[in-house]
Amino acid sequence: MALEMSGEYELPQAREVVWKALNDAEILKKCIPGCETLEKLSDSEFQATVKLSIGPVSARFKGRVKLEDIDAPNGYKIAGEGEGGVAGFAKGFANVALAEAGEGTKLTYKAEAATGGKIAQLGQRLIAGSAKKTADRFFENFVAALQDYK
């Protein structure tokens, strides 16, 4: 995997609340940038359609989102993989860890992403930026979604 990213967020909500949200399909759908559909296949697996554009290539990726290494309420690995037809493929995962921090929760993540096919060939110089932006936006969306989450 070519790209590595990491980040850290301080959240006012309690760890249990954050953990619940991280496992909520509706929340995930709202937070995954470009997510158009997210259907639950099991407690830990979803079928997704995500629209992504990187540089001159934009495509609708169809694939799966899986939750692995589930360690409630300390964290999990969220992994996604999608085929975008002629545009190629995109895949990535984030290891998300939750730690109690006073009243609230500290969320840290380490993510990796890779692309292939036309999206890698033509969008190469933009991929690092796009992937970072996608990861940031997911967690920003997540922080926002938590505000009125119970």
Partner 1 sequence: MSATGIGAAVRRKEDQRFITGTGNYTSDITRPGEVRAYFVRSPHAHATIDKIDVSAAKRMPGVVDILTGADLAGDKIGGLICGWAITSKDGTPMKMGAHPAIAADKVRCVGDAVAVVLAETLLQARDAAEAVQVDYGVLPAVVDPAKATAKGAPQLHDVAPNNLIYDWHLGDKAATEAAFAAAKHVTKLDIINNRLVPNAMEPRAAIAEYDQGNDALTLWNTSQNPHVARLVISAFVGMAPEHKLRVIAPDVGGGFGSKIFIYPEEVVALWAARRVKRPVKWVSDRSEAFLTDAHGRDHVTHAELATDANHKITGLRVHTIANIGSYMSTFSSSVPTYLYATLLSGQYAIPAIYAEVDAVYTNTAPVDAYRGAGRPEATFVVERLVEVAARELGLDPAEFRRKNFVTSFPHQTPVIMTYDAGDYDASMTKAMEMIDYKNFGKRKAESEKNGKLRGIGFSTYIEACGIAPSQAVGSLGAGVGLWESAEVRVNPTGSVEILTGSHSHGQGHETTFAQLVSDRLGVPIDTVSIVHGDTDKVQFGMGTYGSRSGAVGMSAISKALDKIEDKAKKVAGYMMEAAADDIEFKDGKFTVKGTDKSVGWGDVTLNAYIAHKFTGGQLEPGLKEGAFYDPTNFTFPAGCHLAEVEIDPETGKITIANWVAVDDFGNIINPMIVEGQVHGGIAQGVGQAMLEGAHYNADGQLVTGSFMDYAMPRAADLPSFKVDTTVTPCPSNPLGIKGCGEAGAIASPAALINAITNAVGHENVPMPATPSVVWKAAQGGMKKAAE
**82 binding partner 1? (CB under 8 A):** no
Amino acid at 7: G
Burial of 71 (0-12, 13-18, 19+ CB in 10 A): exposed
Residue 2 binds to partner 1 (criterion: CB under 8 A):
yes
Q: Does 15 bind partner 1 (CB under 8 A)?
A: no
Tokens of 54: 């990187």
Task: Select the residue interacting with partner 1 from 25, 70, 97, 114 (CB under 8 A).
Answer: 114
Identity of the amino acid at 87: A
With 0-12 CB in 10 A as exposed, 13-18 as middle and 19+ as buried, what is 102? exposed
Contact status: 105 vs partner 1 (CB under 8 A): no
What is the number of other CB atoms lying within 10 angstroms of the CB of residue 39? Answer: 11
**Per CB under 8 A, 50 contacts partner 1:** no
129 binding partner 1? (CB under 8 A):
no
Q: How far is the CB of 117 from partner 1 (least distance, A)?
A: 3
Judged by CB under 8 A, the stretch of 8-16, 20-28, 85-93, 142-150 that binds partner 1 is 85-93
Q: Based on CB atoms, which residue is closest to partner 1, 17 or 128?
A: 128
Tell me the helix, strand and coil percentages in the chain, rounded to 5.
30, 50, 15
**32 token code pair:** 């995954």
85 lies in the binding site for partner 1 (CB under 8 A): yes
Q: Does 144 bind partner 1 (CB under 8 A)?
A: no
Nearest-angstrom CA–CA distance, 11 and 61: 31
Binding-site ranges for partner 1 (CB under 8 A): 1-2, 83, 85-86, 88-89, 114-118, 120-122, 124-125
